[in-house]
Amino acid sequence: MDDQQKRTIIVTGGSRGIGRGICLAFAGTDSYVYFNYGGAEEAARHTEEKIRAAGGKGRGIHADMASEEDLETFFKTVLDDTGRVDVLVNNAGITKDALLPRMKTGDWDRVMDVNLKGAFLCTKLASRPMMRRKSGRIINIASIAAVAGNPGQANYAAAKAGLIGLTKTTALELAPRNITANAIAPGYIETDMTRRIDENRASEILARIPMGRVGTPEDVAGVAVFLASKAADYITGQVIHVNGGLYT
């Protein structure tokens, strides 16, 4: 495929976990994959290597999801390189868990800034070139916690629930410009984040999953690729649950 026809894919939080899985799923001769990362420099370089090994072109750029200035610079770099944004995957997310009575205000604010405000800023920045081209796909990575709640994660669950609301409003506003916006709500997925869960708690969750296994980043990435494909042209404003039956 000619370089002028390559799609530009942006994945936030792409250095590891679900973000890395999504980057690799989009890697190929028909796409440029850009991703941002917070502090995991070594992991980001590893993701770049894996993208190249898959036959694609990828670049990781350091940018704080809570910094409007960082994100503006990130998007400017992408647009200077390729002149377009075809797909935005808002994946970046952090946790700062505590039971609600003990949760620090700063921890609430930081999770909101990264997980929700960051997605808003990226959606705003991506929508402009998409609107000019009258084409684009926005995919937000929400969570089962957004719809089912999770003890100790009031901040995370609230941010992810807000992301679903952002998805639905974005879908309504941008549909006339042929831009779709959908959300994916993963359940218990094997990542660095879930590996920190207490072993007994992890066993309890696994016992409640009808499919009898935890999910993988590839399970989520496959849905993202579908939502960015021609086959999903008429799907917008939806939340697709990827949880093995844990929540229905």
For residue range 20-60, list pLDDT tens digits in order.
999 999 998 789 999 999 988 999 999 999 999 998 999 99
Fold classified for 3-240 = Rossmann fold (3.40.50)
pLDDT at position 1 is: 45
Q: Which helix (H) or strand (E) holds 88?
A: strand 87-90
pLDDT at 4 over 90: no
Contact indicator for 160, 145 with CB cutoff of 8 Å = yes
Residue 141: φ, ψ to 5°:
-90, 105
Q: Which of 32, 34, 156, 188 is catalytic?
A: 156
Name which of 56, 45, 55, 53 is nearest 16 in CA terms: 45
Residue 156 designated active-site: yes
Q: What pLDDT, in 10s, does the model give residues 229-246?
A: 999 999 999 999 999 999
Instruction: Compute the mean pLDDT over every residue in the chain, rounded to the nearest whole number.
Output: 95
State residue 194's pLDDT score: 74
Question: What predicted TM-score, i.e. pTM, was given to this entire model?
Answer: 0.95
CA pair distance 108, 97, nearest whole angstrom = 9
Q: What is the DSSP string of 19-44?
A: HHHHHHHH-STTEEEEEEESS-HHHH
pLDDT tens digits, one per residue of 201-226:
888 899 999 999 999 999 999 999 99
Report the percentage of the chain scoring pLDDT > 70. Answer: 98
